[in-house]
Amino acid sequence: MISIRLARGLVTAALTLAAFATPRVAQAQWTTTYEQFYLQASHNWTFRNQYASADRLFNAFDYGHAILYETLWTKPNAPASRLEVKEFDYLTKTVLVKPPRLPLEEAAIEPKYAQLAPEAKVMFDWAHLLHRQLYDVLADERLNDAQRDREAQRIIVYYRSRPDLAFSSKPKTMALMQEQSYSLAFRKKYPKFNGLIWGYHWLQVGLYEPLLVGKTVAAKQAGVRATVARFWQMVDGAPTALPYQMPMTATVAPAFAARFPEAAIIFDNLHSMHDVVSDILSNDAVPRDRKRTEILRAARLYRDDTSYVMPVAAWLAMSNHMGIENMGGPSAGFLPTLPTPTVTSGAVMTHDWETGAMKGFTYGSAASGVAAGGEHAGHDMAAMAAMAMPTTVPSTTPAANDSADVAALVHRFHDALEQGDSVAAIGLLADDAEILESGSVETVADYRAHHLPADIALAKAIKSTRAPLRVLVQGDLATSTSTSTTKGTFRDRAIDSAGAELIVARRTSQGWRISAIHWSSRRRN
C-alpha cells in the first residue's frame, strides 16, 4: 500500500505561523501540502544497501540545502562569511565527512523556510524521492535492462501523477534561472557556497553514469567509488575546483540522459529552481513580503509545460555549449586531473531558445589564456569567443544587469495577461504609457477599458509560442523586441497568426516600467 502522509510538520508549520508572524504575513501562507512516499517495489532502498557511503552523502546534501535556505531567510543581514566560511566549513569538514545514516526531515532543519514556502519545499522533496528511486532501479542486480526500463518508466509516471509537485519534463531555457530580475544574486554574494551546491548536483546526476556503464557489479562499485572520489577532489580544491556552471544532466551523465531523457530534464529543472530560490532569498531587491510570491511564481513556471520551454535538441545543444569542463567534468571515464574551466566562475551564457546555440555572455566571460580542448568534446572555444565578443555587453557595465531586469519585466507582463491578472498587468505600465494595436493609440485608462480584457481573453484561450526577446538598453530607456506565433480557436474563430512586439521600457524610481507597447500581426495562412 502506498503510504500518503500529511506533510509532516508542513501543514502545522504553515498554519501555526499565525502565532509567530503578523496577521498580514500569516494570512498569505495558509496552505495545505501533502507528501507522498515511495512507489512500492522490491527494489526500494537497494542503493542504500549496496552503496551505503554514496547514499549517505545525499543525506548530507539534504542538510546542506536546508541550512542554506534557513540561513538566507532567517539571517538576511548576516555577513557573507556566515555561509562562505562558517557553514561551508561545517558542511565540508563535518557533515559530508560523517553524513547522516538516513534521510533527514528537512522541515526540522529549515522550519522558518518551510513556513515561508511549504509548496516549494515539498516539490524539492518529491523530486529528490525520484532521484532515490531511480538509483534503486539501477542498483538492483535482479533486474535486466528491459525490467529496469519498465521500472524507471513506472516511477517517472508515478512522479508525474502529482502535477501539484512535479517539475515539468519539458526543457526550460536558462532564462528562467538566470535572466529574471532577482537572478545571479546568490552566486555573486556567495560564490564558494554556490559552487558547493553545483558540486552536490554534479554528484546527484553523475552517480547514475557508473551504474549504467559498468558491466559487472565490481565495475559498478568501482565506478561509484571513483565518482565519489572525484566529488571530494572538487570539494578539497574549493573554490576553484568546484563547478563554474550548473551541471547539466545530458553533459555530465550522457548515458543516463540518453536512456531516460524525461528524468534528465526533470532533474535539470529541479536544480535550476534550487538556484532560483537561493537568488530570491539572497536578493535584497526582493522585499521580504514578496519573497514567497516570487518563489511560488517560479514553482508554477517550473511545473508547467509551456513557459520558457525549448526543444529537446536545443536543450542538448545548450548543455554541450555550456561546457563539460565548466561543470566539473564527466562523471565516468574521466582523467586524473580536473578539467580547466573555459569561462569565469558563474558566467551567464545566452542561448538561442530554438537551437540552443550560444549567443554570448551577459555576465562573466570566456576565461583568459585558456586553450580549447581538454575534456570538452565538440566545444570550440575560439568560435564561442568570436560569437560572444561582437554582441556582448561587458559585465562591468550596468546594462548587463539591466537587460535581465527588462526581460523579466516583459515576461511578467505576458504572465499577467495569461493568468487574467489585469491589476498586475496595469501595475507594470508607466502612468503615461501608450499602447498601439489594431490601428489605434490608447492611454493606460483607454487600454484598461477597451483592449485589455480582449488581450487577456485571447492570452488565456490560446498559448502563443514566443521567440527569445532581444533587449537593448540605452541609459534609462530600453527596447524589447520579439516575434510569436498563435494558433488555436478563440470565440469560435480559427486563429493562425504571426505577431511582432515592441516594448519600450523606462527606468523609474520603482524600477523598470513599460512606457509603450506596439503589437502587429498577420495571418500565416
- Residue 369 — very low, low, confident or very high, per pLDDT cuts 50/70/90? low
Going by C-alpha positions, the residue among 466, 470, 325 that lies closest to residue 384 is 325
Q: Are 360 and 343 in contact (CB under 8 A)?
A: no
How much is the average pLDDT of 8-16? 38
Residue with cell 577532489: 233
- When mean pLDDT is compared across 276-285, 371-380, 458-467, 504-513, the lowest value belongs to 371-380
First-to-last CA distance in the chain?
54
Helix (H, G, I), strand (E, B) or coil at 523: strand
- Residue 401 — very low, low, confident or very high, per pLDDT cuts 50/70/90? low
Please say whether the dihedral angle defined by the alpha carbons of residues 243, 367, 472 and 290, taken in this order, is positive or negative: positive
Q: Are 408 and 181 in contact (CB under 8 A)?
A: yes
Which H or E element spans position 212? helix 208-213
Q: Are 324 and 330 in contact (CB under 8 A)?
A: yes
Going by C-alpha positions, the residue among 31, 115, 30 that lies closest to residue 69 is 115
Q: DSSP letter string over 146-174?
A: HHHHHHHHHHHHHHHT-TTTPPPSSPBPT
How much is the average pLDDT of 390-415? 63
Compute CA distances 505 → 176, 350, 403, 434, 472, whole Å.
20, 21, 11, 11, 10
- For residue 395, the one-letter residue type is S
- Residue 273 — very low, low, confident or very high, per pLDDT cuts 50/70/90? very high
Backbone angles phi, psi at 348, to 5 degrees: -110, 115
- For residue 314, the one-letter residue type is A
Mean pLDDT rounded to a whole number for the chain:
86
- Residue 523 — very low, low, confident or very high, per pLDDT cuts 50/70/90? confident
- Residue 522 — very low, low, confident or very high, per pLDDT cuts 50/70/90? confident
**The three grid cell numbers given for residue 380, joined into one nine-digit string:** 570550440
Structure confidence by residue, pLDDT tens digits, 109-121: 999 999 999 999 9
Q: What is the DSSP letter of 359?
A: E
Q: Are 199 and 243 in contact (CB under 8 A)?
A: yes
Q: Are 372 and 380 in contact (CB under 8 A)?
A: yes
Compute CA distances 443 → 124, 436, 437, 515, whole Å.
44, 9, 12, 10
In the chain, which segments carry CATH 3.10.450.50?
Answer: 399-523
Top CATH class of 399-523 equals alpha beta
Compute CA distances 498 → 335, 487, 488, whole Å.
50, 9, 12
Hey, which of 183-197, 320-334, 350-364 has the most confident mean pLDDT? Answer: 183-197
- Residue 374 — very low, low, confident or very high, per pLDDT cuts 50/70/90? very low
pLDDT of 439: 74
How much is the average pLDDT of 337-351? 93
Cα 213 from Cα 311, distance rounded (Å):
27
Residue 463 half-sphere exposure toward CB, CA atoms < 13 A: 9
pLDDT of 2: 34
What share of the chain has pLDDT > 70, as a percent?
87
Residue with cell 555549449: 321
Cα 123 from Cα 272, distance rounded (Å):
13
How much is the average pLDDT of 481-503? 87
pLDDT of 199: 98
Q: How far is CA 167 from the centre of its chain?
A: 10
- Residue 384 — very low, low, confident or very high, per pLDDT cuts 50/70/90? very low
Structure confidence by residue, pLDDT tens digits, 131-148: 999 999 999 999 999 999
- For residue 382, the one-letter residue type is A
Q: Residue 336: how many CB atoms within 10 A of its CB? A: 6
Cα 394 from Cα 126, distance rounded (Å):
40
How much is the average pLDDT of 289-312? 96
Pairing of strands 429-437, 511-523: parallel
Q: Are 327 and 250 in contact (CB under 8 A)?
A: no
pLDDT of 467: 80
Residue 395 has pLDDT above 80, yes or no: no
- Determine whether 382 is exposed, middle or buried from the number of CB atoms within 10 Å of its CB (0-12, 13-18, 19+): exposed
Helix (H, G, I), strand (E, B) or coil at 465: strand
Structure confidence by residue, pLDDT tens digits, 222-268: 999 999 999 999 999 999 999 999 999 999 999 999 999 999 999 99
How much is the average pLDDT of 440-467? 86
Cα 158 from Cα 164, distance rounded (Å):
13
How much is the average pLDDT of 13-21? 36
Q: DSSP letter string over 264-324?
A: HHHHHHHHHHHHHHHHHHH-TTS-HHHHHHHHHHHHHHHHSSSTTB--HHHHHHHHHHH-G
Cα 406 from Cα 507, distance rounded (Å):
9
Structure confidence by residue, pLDDT tens digits, 79-99: 999 999 999 999 999 999 999
Helix (H, G, I), strand (E, B) or coil at 133: helix
Q: At what angle do helices 52-74 and 118-139 cross, to 10 degrees?
A: 170
How much is the average pLDDT of 382-389? 31
